[in-house]
Structure 1
């Protein structure tokens, strides 16, 4: 009975530690599996060249906006160089980026269009 209780307590401590770590440390791995991190679409415009990755592809770090217009920076990988000034919808969950896809200007939410226009006029 005593060893069963110690085993159960150990399992609770391990699970609790993992949950606490996922709440404290935010990176691609913890955000991917943390049920408390919401999934959001972030809309970005390709305004700079990606950083080449060895053996291939490019890393992009861009500032974008969610549907409510809140600014956020995302970093993602693309297998090739992306088209300059293209608009992308980036499927993110915290720092974890699941996918991205190119979208048309008309497909952007109104708040995002307004923010991107303001961003372009300030440059």
Structure 2
């Protein structure tokens, strides 16, 4: 029992330290995909607030393609570039808007091919 309490305490302390240092646990160990917002999200009302569902094609830093589904609590800016953090078991866990120059070359090439 003492080991379980110690383990729980250490785990809680470790996650508190990481969160306090500005480390987002939803991004830790996640694969990064880059997308460009095209079109409107599918607006849904969950009874408390509007949610926007998106299904977009993204590319990792090697230019490998993936179709990614995620939601946002606001409508995303059209043509904005985003980095999506993806985990196999959880799907997209987080996202953040980025500048075009922050996107790896192979991923940017693939995103721009889709524009033509």
1:48 pairs, out of 39, 42, 46, with 39
Deviations 1:32-60 (A, max 9, x none): xxxxxx73101010012101122312011
TM-score (norm. length: structure 1): 0.65
Task: State the alpha-carbon separation in 2 of the partners of residues 114 and 77 from structure 1.
Answer: 25
Matched residue count: 84
Match of 1:66 in 2: 60
Q: Which has the higher strand share?
A: 2
Match of 1:87 in 2: 81
Q: Which of the pair has more CA radius of gyration?
A: 1
Runs of 4+ in structure 1 displaced over 3 angstroms?
none
- In structure 1, stretches of 5+ residues that fail to align are 1-37
Q: Which has the higher helix share?
A: 1
Deviations 1:43-96 (A, max 9, x none): 010012101122312011001101110010101110010000000000001251
TM-score (norm. length: structure 2): 0.68
Matched, 1:96 2:91: yes
- In structure 2, stretches of 5+ residues that fail to align are 1-28
